[in-house]
């Protein structure tokens, strides 16, 4: 469960896989802001959109790669992520269609001070 992370926190995403994405867009940092937290998932709005394979991604759903973590300021946590071509306000606002258009990536999330 993600704790100590509230909406409005500045975040940094780093992406390590897939390699083709990293080669074309870089590993990051991709700056963002937390929007919604629900259990092991957090919705992040990207400050700047990222374009890859003719789609533009505006946000990310990040979920813990490990069972539980206290996500504190300055801490970096391994995450599974889906980059989304939309900018939903809440996690439950993401439609199945929007989720399927997403790009699965692996990386890390850091909460900035």
Entry pTM = 0.91
For residue 99, pLDDT beyond 90: yes
Percent over 90 (pLDDT), the chain: 71
The domains of the chain are located at 2-111
Backbone angles phi, psi at 105, to 5 degrees: -140, 165
* Average pLDDT over the chain, rounded to an integer: 90
């Amino acid at each position: 469960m993600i704790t100590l992370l509230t909406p409005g926190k500045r975040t940094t995403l780093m992406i390590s896989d897939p390699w083709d994405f990293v080669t074309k867009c870089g590993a990051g940092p991709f700056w963002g802001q937390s929007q919604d937290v629900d259990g092991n998932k957090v919705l992040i709005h990207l400050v700047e959109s990222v374009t890859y394979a003719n789609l533009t991604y505006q946000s990310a759903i990040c979920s813990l790669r490990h069972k539980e973590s206290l996500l504190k300021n300055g801490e970096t946590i391994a995450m599974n992520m889906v980059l989304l071509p939309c900018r939903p306000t809440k996690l439950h606002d993401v439609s199945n269609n929007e989720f399927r258009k997403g790009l699965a990536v692996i990386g890390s999330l850091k909460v900035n001070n």
